[in-house]
Structure 1
Amino acid sequence: MQLLIELQYNPNLLFFQKSFQADELLFEAQEHYQKQSYRNRCHILTPQGVQPLSIPVVKGNRKTLITQLEIDYSQRWRDNHWRTIQSAYGNAPFFEYYSDYIKDIYDREPAKLWDLNMDLFKLFAKFLKLNKPIHLTQTYVETYEEPVLDWRGKLHPKKEPDILRLPPYRQVFGKQFASNLSILDLLFNLGPEASIYLQNSAAFC
């Protein structure tokens, strides 16, 4: 099965759970930018609860090709994001294990959102030992048939799907489990066990 999905910023757990179930990954590279989506935002768990982190973009509109969308570095989002991540996960068991590698990508300041997201995805895939062939769409196709599983738009901050379920794992804050956060939450809390969790969680579908 080939999973077709949009490239996201610090993708959530359902993104990676579905990626483990696929034989190949097909990232949608011919779509136009969509506001208020996971393309430029993620959710992490802080002492105040679940908090979104959103990357500001330059001239983000419906006519902008996603691979050409530029990040707005005139705003201090990079420092704010990393400070928030560090505050949320600095005491997590595996923060020091992964943090320098992740911060290095932020420090490169890639001009385009696509490049930042791709660099982060490849790093997470390495951490998780997610060894899947990756392809990019060459043209935009409205409807796909098997063996392509079209998950474009399935994951959205305002309409989480009921298709997959996630079992609880230990988290830094809160008595109630916060489900489907960014992969950062899982990695910093479970470390090398994160890949096992994602593969085994398919049983909860």
Structure 2
Amino acid sequence: MKKVAILQSNYIPWKGYFDMIAAVDEFILYDDMQYTRRDWRNRNQIKTPQGVQWLTIPVRVKGKYNQTIRETEIDDSDWAKSHWKSLSQNYHQAPHFEEVATLLEPLYLEHTYTHLSALNRNLIETVCSYLGITTKISNSWDYTLVEGKTERLADLCAQAGGTEYISGPAARDYIDENVFMDMDIKLTWFDYSGYPEYHQLWGAFVHGVTILDLLFNCGKDTSHYMKHVRP
């Protein structure tokens, strides 16, 4: 049995995203999909004394209505310094900030990125390494892409040698389960419910913020607050 999941890359995603990576044998970054504005591709949320705040990477979208995530270019060289400043200001009091910062700070202050997809993958792989997630991460362009929304997902899974496809629950609205059945691929819906709370800074608990919030607050104990990440 080989489990496969296919998702677009997100900027410093929330804990559920990494739980899905940990739950499968191969995770395919589906960045051949069209870039969508005001989505999770180039932004995420952190906690601050003033409430939840967005960190958004500026990207070039003018006149590029049909560009893919893979093609999307970053539009400002100073965004990284600004984001790291926000993370430092709002999390420097967290118990494990210094430990996690040694991994993240160089990615923000010593690297230059031209494309969103490459940046997202670099950050995702860094977090996976810290958490001990060894799942193979590949790109959708490593494979042949067929036509059809569900057909393409099922075919990607088959090309990867997958016998079970793990999908986020939101995809119920468009996935044709019969396509997977006809290809003899088991379709499983991932469950994002039931996460325990952990100690957070700044007021009432919020589940949907970036996983960096969990890392800064819990460090190597992060696995205790996730479902598929092992200590």
1:152-195 alpha-carbon deviations (Å, 9 max, x no partner): 976xxxxxx98523211001211x21112101000000000113
**Which ranges of structure 2 fall in alignment gaps of 5 or more residues?**
155-162, 172-189
- The residue that corresponds to 1:34 in the other structure is 36
Separation in 2 of the partners of 1:162 and 1:133? 21
- The residue that corresponds to 2:116 in the other structure is 113
Q: Is the 8 A contact 1:43 1:182 kept in 2?
A: yes
Q: Is the 8 A contact 2:23 2:228 kept in 1?
A: no
For the pair 1:8 / 2:33, whether they are aligned, the reply is no
Q: What's the TM-score once normalised by structure 2's chain length?
A: 0.76
Separation in 2 of the partners of 1:71 and 1:33? 13
Distance apart, 1:11 and its partner CA:
0.7
Separation in 2 of the partners of 1:64 and 1:152? 26
**Which ranges of structure 1 fall in alignment gaps of 5 or more residues?**
155-160
Higher relative contact order (CA 8 A, sep 6+): 1
Counterpart pick for 1:178 among 199, 206, 210: 206
Q: Provide the secondary structure at the position in 1 that maps to 2:44.
A: strand
Distance apart, 1:23 and its partner CA:
2.4
Q: Is the 8 A contact 2:197 2:225 kept in 1?
A: no
Identity over the aligned pairs, expressed in percent? Answer: 30
TM alignment of 1:118-129, pairs within 5 A: 118-129=121-132
Amino acid across the alignment from 1:170? H
- The residue that corresponds to 2:185 in the other structure is none
Q: What's the TM-score once normalised by structure 1's chain length?
A: 0.85
For the pair 1:142 / 2:185, whether they are aligned, the reply is no
Query: How many residues are treated as equivalent by the alignment?
Result: 193
Structure (1 or 2) with the larger CA radius of gyration: 2
In structure 2, relative to structure 1, the CA distance for the partners of 1:186 and 1:102 (3 Å cut) is same
